[in-house]
Amino acid sequence: MTSTVVNSVTPDTSRPDGSLRAQDPYRAPFAVADAFVRESHVDELAYAAGVDPVDFRLGLLDDERLAAVIQAAARRFGWSSPGYPTGRPALWAKGWLGRAAGIAVDLEEGRRVATCAEVRLDEAAQLRVTRIVTAYECGALLSRDAVISEIEGGTVMALGSLSLSGHQKPESADPLKLDVVLLDRPDLPSAGTGQTPLTAIAPAIANAIFAATGHRLRSLTLIPADLRVGSVSISTAIIAPTCV
């Protein structure tokens, strides 16, 4: 499989016009942006409708392959959401700010992916990504170990891109539990792995942050300018941990 590395672009705050500049190699910047916009919006619709985000997505789908991937991710993650009561996120309404979960999905070129992410607020009121479950289906699995390795590596790249200064290596002191679920479809041609597993990471984390805090982050990287919950000020740094 041939991989093409492109340069991602981020706003250069040192430029008065806010123009874009290249910043570090990154895979699939446009696919990631597309998934972030779409999945953030779908999450908002679920919230407005007062429907669980997993159930809301399943109710919209006529793609049984994507539905199977969503169900596999939610089952492995142990998804249990009371739903989003209209007006405010469920976890915020309960005053439970310790942790929250979000989900995002994507499909392209014969591949299907769903990612569930957990974020926690530590004692210093800093957001940390603590758990990610990615379910993936690309037709027939030719090498299970190779697919898992590519998904794990892509996840680390995606997490690094969410840091304050762009593409950074995650901190080894902050372990992340990463779980990969593969769905084998031997009746379908293999579509490989490539960029697809990266695309749902950012929106899943953003949706988890909303579920925990009531604040919707609408741009990448996921750096809130002034994120507060009641009297608590949340750190602007999102920790991108190393997988264990």
- Residue pLDDT, tens place only, 37-81: 999 999 999 988 888 899 999 999 999 999 999 999 999 999 875
Q: CATH classification of 28-243, choosing from 3.30.365.10, 3.30.70.2500, 3.20.20.70, 3.40.50.300?
A: 3.30.365.10
DSSP β-bridge partners for residue 106: 113
- The rounded distance, in Å, linking the Cα atoms of 47 and 111 is 27
* Interval 177-201 mean pLDDT: 91
* Interval 201-217 mean pLDDT: 86
Percent of the chain having pLDDT more than 70? 63
In the chain, where the domains are located: 28-243
Cα torsion 57, 203, 233, 17 to 10°: value is -130
Q: pLDDT tens digits for 90-125? A: 444 444 456 788 999 999 888 999 999 988 776 666
Q: Given a cut of 80, is residue 240 above it in pLDDT? A: no
